[in-house]
């Protein structure tokens, strides 16, 4: 069976994905249960 590869369900918005990634990284950087240097690594990723 041949799939319709032009269907939007097979793709995602790159910009929205990047924003969600940055949100997750910043959430880790703000997590006070992590050691300070670990939090700094997340800030460096951002």
pLDDT in tens, 3-44: 777 777 777 888 999 999 999 999 999 999 999 999 999 999
Cα–Cα distance list, 28 to 7, 15, 19, 31, 35 (Å): 34, 20, 14, 5, 11
Confidence of residue 1 (pLDDT cuts 50, 70, 90): low
The structure tokens 């997590």 sit at 31
pLDDT value, residue 2: 61
pLDDT value, residue 11: 78
């Amino acid at each position: 069976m041949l799939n319709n590869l032009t269907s939007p369900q097979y793709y995602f918005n790159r910009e929205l994905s990047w924003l969600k990634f940055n949100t997750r990284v910043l959430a880790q950087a703000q997590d006070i249960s992590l050691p300070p240097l670990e939090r700094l690594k997340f800030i460096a990723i951002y």
